[in-house]
Chains A and B, each alone.
Chain A
Amino acid sequence: MDAPMNSLPNNTHIDVETILRIQKISRKEEIGRNWYKFSRNPISVVGLLVVITVILLATFAPYVAPYPTHAGPYTDFANAKKPPNWTYLLGTDQIGRDILSRIIFGMRSSLLMAVVVLSLVVPPGVLLGLIAGYYHGTWIDTVIMRLTDIFLAVPPLILALAVASVLKPNLWNSMMAISLMWWPWYTRLVYGLATTLRNEYFVTAAEVTGASTAHILFREIFPNTVSPILTKMSIDVAWVIIIGSMLSFVGLGVQPPEPSLGTMIADGAKYLPDQWWIAVFPALAIVVIVLGFNLLGDGISDMFASEDA
């Protein structure tokens, strides 16, 4: 730390406050620069807008949904299976509930699931990857990575289904099931990055100066893995939503009358082709959400990629 200071001419005087101010400005500039890079690609901005819209709709679902009561145990057989019209913009389902309202509430549980699963999965996955990568070639590496390989031996969806099937079917248990099977992907991603990063000079420098292992893992290696992790997280939001919808499609996720996009599609599929809107609109909703998060993920990865170039 002292080295650059010593190399300055003796008469140069820099006080701590100035350094902090410069750091603050450069941090601000960096954010501005990143935003510029991100916004240069209009498609990424569209992705961001879609994601923001979805998050807002889901958060304020009770206030924005035209018929909030339709998200619960509501029936109105007189208005069942109505095609899209001005009262019910996207039509009504087999028991007369407004599909638009149910989609908005369905997005809510989809997003909740994505947030919970990722926050359960990313910290342990990343930590294990950092440790295994830093202790590359030792028994710690072997134990962690072989365990990871076992979980990666079948698509996570299958094991998640198996776990969900032995538990009581509901939103929380399906989140647990997905989380249990998802961490290895982060471990493997971070492991790959950490095995190369550990040979970098800045890591060696930290080791030589006697920095603690925790410092090396979290302050030296981890910051360099953030951009791929963020990219993967953004795309994984989409994946968790898809897998969650598949679990609820087969009846192992959110239970009725709670709305969920997967259940809506599964129910609607029985009324194809005459009442196509029951299945098609929730399906389109999934496509739009997933597309939004993918575009955002690509935008984030482009933003960091051009930095290296």
Chain B
Amino acid sequence: MSMIRFLLQRALYSIFVLLGLSVVIFVIARIMPGDPARMAVGARAPQWVVDRLREQMHLNDPVAVQYYFWLKDAMKGDFGLSLITQRPVTNDIREFLPASLELALYAAILEAVFGIGLGIVSARYKDTWIDNLGRLISYAGIVTPSYIFAIFFILLFGFALKWFPIIGRVSEDVAMPKTITGLVTIDALIQGQFQTFFNALWHIILPSFSLAMGSIAQAARITRSSMADNLTKDYIANMRAMGVSEKAIMSRFLLKPSLIPTISILGLDIASILSVAFIVESIFNWPGLARYGMNAMLYKDLNAISAVILVFGATFAIMNIVVDIIVAQLDPRIRLRAAKGD
């Protein structure tokens, strides 16, 4: 029961944070020089059209009133028209978000598998050459920004070795599956088009690896150090004294509590991957939301900018809550504390 209350509190708080974020975005949008109405209709439209539009957009009202109207529309999912695409921003988001989500999903899988895997191996063989190699790799991963990985991967695996395609979501001669979820690999699987599935999988490997490298490294480091930390705890010494095998200690008693910090980081990483992917998305010509947002910024498309940032903020908030739930499941202490209601 109290877990639900705890989650409700978190959700309410997230809404507060998002409202605050919307104020920040609104303020940013208003610093911009130039008349939004004039920009919406173009330089050649007569002045009376601009004046009427100003009236309609509430631009003659005080800023607080403008914010009220903007927020009212935003709550209904109406962010106005995009200057670039001339379509409702909401439609654009619906079109571009799935590609980003798919990228983030695969990055998350890679991060979980390789990050945690590398961390466990490093902790298991602590202070041997395997551990040192693992740490070296994680270091390289942490310090290299994702777009630089993208460039190196394209050169190595795309051009030199020709193992992976470097552009788009599927090859040109492959038809896109009918949109159900918008995630091409999943849509293809649902409809049983295995060839399309593998083709799409092939396309997503390089971009998702580029995005995940940093987080893989981070996850490996955190898993390693938290396992190494827990290894010195009394309960492990106790297990050893009782004659529990090293393997059982590792897999059954050490891993679960050690994953808690990794999972907290992993969740937030996924949310931030979604939004900072814009360079990687444009390098791989990936039709994602981050790239759309970046173009919106370059063309000063205010409606689109505001909406995209709010979507990213919402993703962050949701991921935060998801992480809380998972961590509470993994850590009985948090569960109990929530149940007791403190």
A binding-site residues for B, Cβ under 8 Å: 146-147, 149-151, 153-155, 157-159, 161-167, 238, 242, 245-246, 249-252, 265, 269, 272-273, 276, 279-280, 283, 286-287, 290-291, 294
B binding-site residues for A, Cβ under 8 Å: 16-18, 20-21, 23-25, 28-29, 31-32, 139-140, 142-145, 147-148, 151-152, 154-155, 158-160, 272, 275-276, 278-279, 283, 293-294, 297-298, 300, 305, 309, 312-313, 316-317
The CA of A154 and the CA of B305, in the complex, are separated in Å by 13
**Residue from B25, B32, B151, B160 within 8 A of A280 (CB atoms):** B151
Q: List 19 A-B contacts (CB under 8 A).
A: A153-B17, A153-B21, A154-B275, A155-B275, A157-B276, A162-B25, A162-B28, A164-B297, A165-B297, A238-B143, A245-B145, A246-B279, A250-B298, A251-B298, A269-B151, A273-B155, A286-B145, A287-B144, A290-B143
Q: Assuming the A-B contacts A153-B20, A154-B21, A161-B297, are A287 and B143 also in contact, with contact meaning beta carbons closer than 8 angstroms in the complex?
A: yes
The CA of A68 and the CA of B298, in the complex, are separated in Å by 31
Within the complex, what minimum Cβ distance (angstroms) separates A183 from chain B? 13
**Residue from A149, A158, A269 within 8 A of B283 (CB atoms):** A269
Of B25, B160, B313, chain A has the most CB atoms within 10 Å of the CB of B313
**Residue from A151, A155, A245, A279 within 8 A of B24 (CB atoms):** A151
Residue in chain A with minimal CB distance to B290: A158
**Residue from A153, A163, A276 within 8 A of B316 (CB atoms):** A153
A residues less than 8 Å from B159 (CB atoms): 272-273
The CA of A242 and the CA of B155, in the complex, are separated in Å by 21
B residues less than 8 Å from A151 (CB atoms): 24
The CA of A166 and the CA of B32, in the complex, are separated in Å by 5
The CA of A25 and the CA of B275, in the complex, are separated in Å by 52
A residues less than 8 Å from B279 (CB atoms): 246, 249-250
The CA of A291 and the CA of B31, in the complex, are separated in Å by 37
- Give the A-B pair count, Cβ closer than 8 A: 113
* A-B pairs, 3 with minimum CB distance: A150-B20, A165-B297, A273-B159
Q: Assuming the A-B contacts A273-B160, A280-B155, A291-B143, are A154 and B316 also in contact, with contact meaning beta carbons closer than 8 angstroms in the complex?
A: yes
**Residue from A147, A287, A290 within 8 A of B20 (CB atoms):** A147
B residues less than 8 Å from A251 (CB atoms): 298
Of B29, B139, B148, chain A has the most CB atoms within 10 Å of the CB of B148
Q: Could you tell me if B145 and A242 are in contact, using CB atoms closer than 8 angstroms?
A: yes
Q: Could you tell me if A165 and B298 are in contact, using CB atoms closer than 8 angstroms?
A: yes
Q: Could you tell me if B313 and A154 are in contact, using CB atoms closer than 8 angstroms?
A: yes
A residues less than 8 Å from B32 (CB atoms): 166
Q: Could you tell me if B154 and A166 are in contact, using CB atoms closer than 8 angstroms?
A: no
Residue in chain B with minimal CB distance to A274: B159
State the majority secondary structure of interface residues on A: helix
A residues less than 8 Å from B155 (CB atoms): 272-273, 276, 280
A residues less than 8 Å from B20 (CB atoms): 146-147, 149-150, 153
Residue in chain B with minimal CB distance to A167: B31
A residues less than 8 Å from B312 (CB atoms): 154-155, 158
Q: Could you tell me if A154 and B142 are in contact, using CB atoms closer than 8 angstroms?
A: no
The CA of A153 and the CA of B24, in the complex, are separated in Å by 11
Q: Could you tell me if A294 and B28 are in contact, using CB atoms closer than 8 angstroms?
A: no
**Residue from A159, A166, A280, A290 within 8 A of B309 (CB atoms):** A159
Q: Could you tell me if B276 and A283 are in contact, using CB atoms closer than 8 angstroms?
A: no
The CA of A146 and the CA of B20, in the complex, are separated in Å by 9
Q: Could you tell me if A158 and B275 are in contact, using CB atoms closer than 8 angstroms?
A: yes
Within the complex, what minimum Cβ distance (angstroms) separates A130 from chain B? 22
Q: Could you tell me if B21 and A150 are in contact, using CB atoms closer than 8 angstroms?
A: yes
B residues less than 8 Å from A252 (CB atoms): 297-298
Q: Could you tell me if A166 and B31 are in contact, using CB atoms closer than 8 angstroms?
A: yes
Q: Assuming the A-B contacts A273-B155, A279-B151, are A294 and B139 also in contact, with contact meaning beta carbons closer than 8 angstroms in the complex?
A: yes
The CA of A246 and the CA of B300, in the complex, are separated in Å by 18
Extra contacts, 20 of them, besides A265-B151, A272-B159, A273-B158 (Cβ < 8 A), are A149-B20, A157-B276, A162-B297, A165-B298, A165-B305, A166-B28, A166-B32, A166-B300, A242-B145, A246-B145, A249-B279, A250-B297, A265-B148, A272-B155, A273-B159, A276-B155, A280-B155, A286-B148, A287-B143, A290-B143
The CA of A276 and the CA of B158, in the complex, are separated in Å by 13
The CA of A248 and the CA of B176, in the complex, are separated in Å by 34
The CA of A250 and the CA of B280, in the complex, are separated in Å by 11
Q: Could you tell me if A153 and B313 are in contact, using CB atoms closer than 8 angstroms?
A: yes
B residues less than 8 Å from A280 (CB atoms): 151-152, 155
Q: Could you tell me if B145 and A294 are in contact, using CB atoms closer than 8 angstroms?
A: no
A residues less than 8 Å from B18 (CB atoms): 153
Q: Assuming the A-B contacts A154-B21, A154-B312, A287-B143, are A159 and B28 also in contact, with contact meaning beta carbons closer than 8 angstroms in the complex?
A: yes
The CA of A114 and the CA of B29, in the complex, are separated in Å by 26
Q: Could you tell me if B309 and A287 are in contact, using CB atoms closer than 8 angstroms?
A: no
Residue in chain A with minimal CB distance to B142: A294
A residues less than 8 Å from B276 (CB atoms): 155, 157-158, 246
**Residue from B148, B278, B309 within 8 A of A154 (CB atoms):** B309
Within the complex, what minimum Cβ distance (angstroms) separates A127 from chain B? 21
B residues less than 8 Å from A272 (CB atoms): 151, 154-155, 159
Q: Assuming the A-B contacts A165-B297, A250-B298, are A283 and B151 also in contact, with contact meaning beta carbons closer than 8 angstroms in the complex?
A: yes
Q: Assuming the A-B contacts A154-B21, A279-B151, are A163 and B313 also in contact, with contact meaning beta carbons closer than 8 angstroms in the complex?
A: no
Q: Assuming the A-B contacts A158-B276, A238-B143, A294-B142, are A166 and B294 also in contact, with contact meaning beta carbons closer than 8 angstroms in the complex?
A: no
B residues less than 8 Å from A158 (CB atoms): 275-276, 293, 309, 312
The CA of A167 and the CA of B300, in the complex, are separated in Å by 10
Of A153, A252, A287, chain B has the most CB atoms within 10 Å of the CB of A153
The CA of A276 and the CA of B151, in the complex, are separated in Å by 10
Residue in chain B with minimal CB distance to A168: B33
The CA of A292 and the CA of B160, in the complex, are separated in Å by 29
The CA of A155 and the CA of B32, in the complex, are separated in Å by 21
Within the complex, what minimum Cβ distance (angstroms) separates B193 from chain A? 32
A residues less than 8 Å from B148 (CB atoms): 265, 283, 286-287
Residue in chain B with minimal CB distance to A298: B139
The CA of A163 and the CA of B298, in the complex, are separated in Å by 11
Q: Could you tell me if B24 and A159 are in contact, using CB atoms closer than 8 angstroms?
A: yes
